[in-house]
């Protein structure tokens, strides 16, 4: 009888161990996913910009202009909820000087300007988004579909200046006039996120990300599309380096008493320091 009880006990222990192991295998997140990660780095790009905007002193019509190479800050964070869902946050800022020409009926400090005027300004774009993702797949390959919301704010401000020609007592004279103004837009919009990640090992991964932001209705309309292909290499258990090549295309329009349009294309490499837990 004692041997029978002992045999049953061994069977129960073995069964419990198998169930526990199976449950642990199911509960563990897939290899390409982290419980929590935080990435901070920079995006190197040569921006292509087009701005059309009405201001108090005239209309800015820049046409397509390619700026010099610049570096933009980027921050990303992601946290798993359970083992197959996550919340992802992303932020990027573009804030640089901008010097398009003023065209059309330009009035500066009450003076009507013929021809063109100089604009010394600054263009700033803040884009932040949050998405809730569902992850599918096991072991070394996972795919994501996510939905969320984005907030974007664009602002163009600065000083316009020109030289006015005239006559005093029959003699030609010239004088400088200037004026300052700014125009800005901000809005919320829905986001669709897609992603794929593959783990070669615990320390090396690759990933593909794509997202789309669409805004219809209200004063501001337009879209923002982005995508990136990259690799992660962890030099230590919790600290690694991420490199990717990405592109962002931004097309925003405002329909109001001061119509405006902003188009920006950013493409280039990014580098991040990534911490995972």
DSSP per residue, 102-146: EESSEEETTEEE-S-EEEEEEEEEEEEEEEEEEEE--TTEEEEEE
The region of weakest confidence among 41-45, 132-136, 236-240, 254-258 is 254-258
pLDDT over 50 (residue 45): yes
| 50 and 26 within one domain | no
Q: Which of 239, 247, 236, 250 has its CA nearest to residue 272?
A: 239
| 196 and 130 within one domain | yes
Number of domains forming the structure of the chain: 2
Q: What's the average model confidence in pLDDT over 106-111? A: 58
Identify whether the C-beta of residue 207 lies closer than 8 Å to the C-beta of residue 232: yes
- Reported confidence tier of residue 71, pLDDT bands at 50, 70, 90: very high
The residues, ordered by sequence, that sit 6+ positions from 223 with a Cβ below 8 Å of its Cβ are 212, 213, 214, 215, 251
| 43 and 25 within one domain | no
| 1 and 40 within one domain | no
| 6 and 115 within one domain | no
Q: How open is the CA angle 157-158-159, to the nearest 5 degrees?
A: 150
Tokens matching residue 96? 């640089």
Q: State the Cα–Cα distance between residues 117 and 105, nearest whole angstrom.
A: 11
Q: What's the average model confidence in pLDDT over 85-98? A: 91
Query: Whole domain around residue 49: which residue ranges?
Result: 33-276
Which is higher by pLDDT, 146 or 188? 146
Its pTM stands at: 0.76
Q: What's the average model confidence in pLDDT over 219-240? A: 93
pLDDT over 90 (residue 59): no
pLDDT of residue 173: 59
Which is higher by pLDDT, 23 or 123? 123
We report the CATH number of the domain holding residue 272 as: 2.40.128.90
pLDDT of residue 197: 98
Identify whether the C-beta of residue 41 lies closer than 8 Å to the C-beta of residue 272: yes
| 193 and 172 within one domain | yes
| 2 and 62 within one domain | no
| 108 and 204 within one domain | yes
| 223 and 155 within one domain | yes
pLDDT of residue 12: 45
pLDDT in tens, 192-215: 999 999 999 999 999 999 999 988
| 41 and 18 within one domain | no
């Amino acid at each position: 009888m004692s041997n029978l009880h002992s045999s049953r006990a061994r069977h129960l222990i073995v069964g419990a161990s198998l169930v526990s192991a199976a449950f642990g295998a199911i509960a563990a997140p897939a290899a390409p996913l982290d419980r929590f990660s935080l990435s901070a780095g920079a995006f190197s790009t040569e921006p292509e910009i087009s701005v059309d905007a009405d201001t108090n002193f005239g209309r800015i019509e820049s046409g397509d202009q390619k700026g010099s190479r610049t570096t933009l800050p980027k921050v990303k964070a992601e946290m798993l909820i359970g083992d197959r869902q996550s919340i992802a946050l992303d932020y990027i800022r573009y804030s640089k000087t901008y010097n398009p020409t003023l065209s059309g009926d330009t009035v500066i400090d009450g003076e009507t300007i013929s021809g063109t005027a100089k604009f010394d300004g600054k263009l700033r774009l803040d884009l932040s988004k949050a998405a809730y993702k569902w992850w599918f797949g096991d072991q070394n390959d996972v795919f994501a579909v996510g939905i969320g919301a984005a907030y974007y704010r664009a602002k163009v401000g600065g000083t316009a200046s020109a030289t006015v020609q005239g006559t005093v007592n029959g003699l030609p004279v010239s004088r400088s006039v200037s004026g300052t103004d700014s125009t800005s837009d901000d809005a919320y919009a829905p986001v669709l996120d897609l992603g794929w990640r593959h783990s070669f090992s615990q320390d090396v991964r690759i990933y593909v990300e794509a997202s789309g932001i669409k805004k219809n209705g209200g004063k501001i309309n337009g879209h923002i599309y982005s995508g990136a292909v990259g690799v992660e290499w962890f030099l230590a258990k919790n600290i690694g380096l991420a490199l990717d090549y990405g592109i962002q295309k931004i097309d925003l329009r405002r329909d109001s008493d001061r119509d405006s349009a902003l188009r920006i294309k950013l493409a280039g490499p990014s580098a991040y320091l990534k911490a995972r837990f």
